[in-house]
Copies of this chain bind each other. A is one copy, B any other.
Amino acid sequence: MDEGPGAFAGDLSPPGRLAGPGEGISPEELALAARNHGLPLEALRHDLTPLGLHYVLVHYDIPYVPDASSARWQLTVHGRVRRPLALDVAALRSFPAVTLRVTMECAGNGRALLAPRPVSQPWLVEAVGTAEWTGVPLRLLLAEAGIEPDAVEVVFSGADHGVERGVEQDYRRSLPLDVATGDDSEVLVAYRMNGGPLPPQHGHPLRLVVPGWYGMAHVKWLREIRLTDTPFTGFQQATAYRYRQEPGDPGRPVTRMAPRALMIPPGCPDFMSRIRFVRPGRVLLEGRAWSGWPPVTRVEVTTDDCRSWYDAELAPPDRSGAHLWAWQRWQSFWTATPGNHVLAARATDAAGRVQPLTQPWNRGGFGNNRIQRIPVHCGPGRPG
C-alpha cells in the first residue's frame, strides 16, 4: 500500500522518545505547536466552534487543492467489493445527505501534561472542537459498491504525504467493517463543515467523520476507500495510535474518546502566566463535557483542588440523534473568596467511565483525560 522504509538516518526521522526529567519543550515540539492549534478555552461558550477555533492536527503538509482541482477530485472505492466506484464530489452529493454535530478531540490531547512526557505534538487540554458535518453515510457507499463476504476492514487513504519514524506514507487508517457499516455511530464521507465547504486544514474537499472516535480516525483529504480481507497493518494503525507501556508491546488500538469535561477559565487572565483573576462573590463556572460512549451522565466540580466535589447542572443529551455525538453544556456557581484556588471538573459517561485524578500514562501519550486544573487568584482589588 505504498508504505515503505526510506533511507533516513535516525535524526532525520527520529523514533519515538520520552522527554528527560525537567526537559523543556524542544524546538521540534514547538514547530508542531506553532502549526497545529487547540481551541482557546473561552470558545467553549459556542455550541458550534467557529472556524479557525476548532483544533487542527495535520501530520504532514496540508494538501493544496484549488477549486479547479477539487471539482476533479476522485474518491475511489475498491478492493473486496463487487462494483468498484470512482466518485467525484458532485456524484457524492447525489446520495442522501446526513448532517451530524460531532465533537472531535485529538488522541494526543493532554500529552504535554504527562510525566514523563512523550515527545510529539505537545497538547495541553485544548485539542477539541465541535462542528456540523454534512455528507454521505459510508454504509450507503459501501452498499452501492457491494461488499464481498470476505471483507473484514475498510482502509481510508488521505492525500497528506510525509515521513514518520522512517516510513514514507500517505496518511492511512482503517476501521473494522462493523464500525464502517454501522449506523449507531453513523460514519460519514463529509463534504461540508458548518454549512460551507471544508476548509483546507479540515480536509478539503472530502474527509471521513467517525462520531465518537478520536481525531486520527477522521481521515482528511480522502482519496481512497479500500476493503480488505486482512486487518490493515499500516504505520498509523499498527505502529502509531496504540496504547502501550513498553516499546515492544503490541498495545491496544486507540479508538473512542475517553470522557472529559473542560471548564471555561473564569475571570480574566494574566498574559504570560495564564493565571486567572476573579473578584470575590458569585462566579459562573461553565463548560462542556463529552465522551465517545455518550451521553455524559454526570459532571462534578471542585473548587478546592479535588478535596471535595459537587454536582454541576448538566444539559440533557439530545435524543434525536443529530447531536448525540456533540458535547453537552454544564454549569455551576461558585462563591469565590480571597486567596488562591484550584478549580476542576470531571465527567462520567453512560458506560460508567469517570475521568481520573491521576494520569493514565502510555508511551504515545494517548487518551490522557486526567482532569484539567485551573489555578485562580481571587483578590479584593480591581481585576475581575
The interface of chain A, by Cβ under 8 A from chain B, is 4, 6-8, 11-14, 23-38, 40, 42-43, 45-46, 50-54, 56, 58-62, 64, 112, 119-120, 122-124, 126, 161-165, 168, 199-202, 265, 268-275, 277, 377, 379, 381-383
Contact = CB atoms under 8 A, between A and B. Distances in A.
B274 A201 contact: no
A201 B119 contact: no
A59 B122 contact: no
Given A42-B64, A43-B200, A273 B52 contact: no
B201 A52 contact: yes
A12 B275 contact: yes
A43 B200 CA distance: 9
A173 to B, nearest CB: 15
A308 to B, nearest CB: 25
Given A27-B112, A28-B273, A34-B122, 4 more contacts: A4-B382, A7-B379, A13-B273, A163-B270
A52 B271 CA distance: 22
A59 B273 CA distance: 11
Contacts of A123: 34
A217 to B, nearest CB: 17
Nearest to A122: B30
A234 to B, nearest CB: 14
B40 A62 contact: yes
Contacts of A62: 40, 42-43, 53
User: Helix, strand, loop or mixed for chain A's interface?
Assistant: loop
A25 B31 CA distance: 11
Contact of A28 (B14, B165, B272, B277): B272
A56 B124 CA distance: 18
Contact of A25 (B24, B42, B379): B24
Q: Can you list the 3 inter-chain pairs with the closest CB atoms, starting with the nearest?
A: A24-B24, A37-B37, A52-B52
27 contacts: A7-B379, A11-B273, A13-B270, A13-B275, A14-B273, A24-B26, A25-B26, A28-B272, A28-B274, A30-B33, A30-B124, A32-B274, A34-B126, A43-B62, A43-B200, A46-B200, A51-B52, A52-B53, A52-B54, A53-B200, A61-B269, A161-B268, A163-B268, A163-B269, A163-B271, A164-B270, A165-B271
A273 B12 contact: yes
B200 A50 contact: yes
Nearest to A123: B34
Contacts of A50: 199-201
Given A168-B382, A377-B12, A51 B199 contact: yes
Contacts of A35: 37-38, 40, 126
A130 to B, nearest CB: 15
A164 B25 contact: no
Contacts of A54: 52
